[in-house]
Structure 1
Amino acid sequence: MTGPTAPALPAARTRLRVRGTVPAGGLPLGVRLGAGFLALVVLAAVLAPLIAPYPPDAIDLDASLAGTGHAHWLGTDASGQDLLSRVLHGARTSLVAPLLLLALAALLGVTLGTLAAWRGGWVDTLVSRLTDVMYAFPGLLFVVLIIAVFGAGMTTSVLALALAYAPTIAKYTRSVALAERTKPYVDAYRVQGMGGARICAFHLVPNLSRAVVGYLVVLFGEALMSLATLSYLGFGAQPPSSDWGLMVQEGQAAVVQGAPLPALVPGTAIAAVVVAFNIVGVWAADRLGSRR
């Protein structure tokens, strides 16, 4: 079998490169739609006091379980509260709380993962066994036990879930840091007399930030769903909060009365935001991981 002549090889390689390239600024359609939707949700949450047609706690019993219409675009709940206004105001809690949760979990998880990868030995063994125990213990049960001790509320839920998510982030950080610490620049800084803590804080951890941030973006949807679940069960946000998970729980009784909107509207909001974050998060994680 004869191969391609010498002049044909560069042309063939060029064609392969052209096929594999992505146009500048080009994004998959799903990522564009997901990012656009998330931008609208964030904008709506910021501008909620200005664009919401009613206060989130305004009660109008004459409009109880009203359907969609000019006065109430998405209907009302059993107390006559406007669902659109409540969803807009509830977006703040539903988006900010997962951010705080992941920030706390990342602070603890990245610290433990980096320490285990850098020190090795018994420190690595201790951190690994600790994270393994946390994995073996059901996460929801762990959170419920903490809430049972310190009381229900959004603050307690955020702290409890942060502790539950920290082992996952610690394991991921450790795996990435083990590969990073073998790179030549680490030995170069050691030769210069730089201490291990300074190398980790100013060089190792910043180089891990792309991969860790990409992983946190993927976890955001799961964190939002976990907080909504706790609010639905009565452990998270408490009335009269307009948290989406609590709204689903409060609207559940209306479904039996033939009014699905009080539960359907916040439930759809949760599902749409989680799906959008998963789409954008997977794409961002791939991009940040490839550039690391």
Structure 2
Amino acid sequence: MTALLSPRLRSRKRRGSAVGFWVAAGFLALVVLAALLGPLLAPYASDEIDFAAIWAPPSAQHLLGTDQLGRDLFSRLLIGTGETLLGPVLLLALATVIGVAIGVLAAWRGGWVDTLLARVTDVMFAFPGLLFVVLVIAVFGKGPATAVVALALAYAPVIAKYTRSLALSEMARPYIDAYRVQGQGGLSICLRGVVPNLLPALVGYLVVLFGEALMSLATLSFLGFGAQPPSSEWGLMVQEGQAGIIQGHFLPTLVPGAAIALVVIAVNVAGVRVADRLLAKG
């Protein structure tokens, strides 16, 4: 009986996984669409103040209600989607350039170069990420650009370690010796052979990291180090909506908070499957 049920259970699990992936992918497609068309779809400007509608409940005029300044929450959520998603993309792009360069260089050169870069990344990796980010912001000032750069520097060692482990196994492949026999230099071999072959695993890893990067930037905005008013970035919206909680107005905090949570969950659900597919093809 168990032998008969096992294939069925496996089939149900695969179908459930596929359904979860497509639900998450569909939701993320809507979020990306909102990021691209938010300013056109929003019924109000994100900074449009209406003192006659402060803490207004959901209605036909304000689908999700308003905040402490009478600003429409639905409009702010739509318009803030672009900024909320752009930050993690820029963060991971910068961290990837730095991390991949360090990881591939360490694996290619080996010896004291590998040891030195490994020790440097170990120190940065061991240093509390949030404390490092706050230190950078304290030196260069708060704001979305500083938050992105600071977090990129904090994420770079993680990506460097992962890249180095992948590159070390890649260096043992026969095509590396073939390129060397052809007289190609190390930079050419890495750019033409090593890095392209690492891309499937790296992209899958970065997709999974995206949700964590979004949460990190939202946390900095919540603490006042990232996006600044009158931005409608979701982390900042959560922070600004706190004033209404003690007065019984929960939506200004719950709406952007739920949006962050749903995007992170959807990215993780879809990202794990994408990563598995890319690794299988790689």
**2:124 is paired with a residue of what secondary structure?**
helix
**Aligned with residue 90 of structure 2, among 86, 100, 105:** 100
Corresponding position of 2:259: 269
Could you list the structure 1 runs, at least 4 aligned residues long, displaced by more than 3 angstroms after superposition.
19-22
Corresponding position of 1:129: 119
Q: Quick one: distance in 2 between partners of 1:112 and 1:136?
A: 17
Corresponding position of 1:250: 240
Q: Quick one: distance in 2 between partners of 1:190 and 1:202?
A: 12
CA deviation profile, 1:81-106 (whole Å, cap 9, x unmatched): 00000000100110011000000000
After superposing the two structures, state which structure 1 stretch, 160-169 or 187-196, moved more: 187-196
CA 53–175 in structure 1, closer or farther in 2 if over 3 Å, else same: same
Q: Quick one: distance in 2 between partners of 1:135 and 1:198?
A: 29
Please list, as runs of the form range in 1=range in 2, the aligned pairs for 1:1-292 lying within 5 A after superposition: 28-292=18-282
Q: Quick one: distance in 1 between partners of 2:72 and 2:181?
A: 65
Structure 2 residue ranges without an equivalent (≥5): 1-6
Residue type at the aligned position of 1:129: R
Post-superposition shift, 1:45?
1.4
Q: Quick one: distance in 2 between partners of 1:139 and 1:113?
A: 19
Instruction: Give identity over the alignment, percent.
Output: 65
After superposing the two structures, state which structure 1 stretch, 34-43 or 48-57, moved more: 48-57
Post-superposition shift, 1:192?
1.2
Q: Quick one: distance in 2 between partners of 1:131 and 1:54?
A: 46
TM-score by length of 1: 0.91
**2:61 is paired with a residue of what secondary structure?**
coil
Residue type at the aligned position of 1:117: A
Q: Give the total of aligned pairs.
A: 275
Structure 1 residue ranges without an equivalent (≥5): 1-16
Residue type at the aligned position of 2:119: R
Q: Quick one: distance in 2 between partners of 1:98 and 1:218?
A: 12
After superposing the two structures, state which structure 1 stretch, 82-91 or 43-52, moved more: 43-52
CA deviation profile, 1:108-156 (whole Å, cap 9, x unmatched): 0000000001111011101111111012110000000000000000000
Post-superposition shift, 1:27?
6.8
Q: Quick one: distance in 1 between partners of 2:130 and 2:44?
A: 35
Q: Quick one: distance in 2 between partners of 1:97 and 1:87?
A: 15
Q: Quick one: distance in 1 between partners of 2:17 and 2:135?
A: 44
Q: Quick one: distance in 2 between partners of 1:45 and 1:196?
A: 41
Q: What is the aligned-residue RMSD (CA, Å)?
A: 1.9
Pick the structure with more helix per residue.
2
**1:76 is paired with a residue of what secondary structure?**
coil
CA deviation profile, 1:21-74 (whole Å, cap 9, x unmatched): 99xxx9711110110000000101111122111111100111111111111111
**1:269 is paired with a residue of what secondary structure?**
helix
Post-superposition shift, 1:273?
0.4
Residue type at the aligned position of 1:247: M
**2:69 is paired with a residue of what secondary structure?**
coil
Q: Quick one: distance in 2 between partners of 1:236 and 1:116?
A: 33
Residue type at the aligned position of 1:242: S
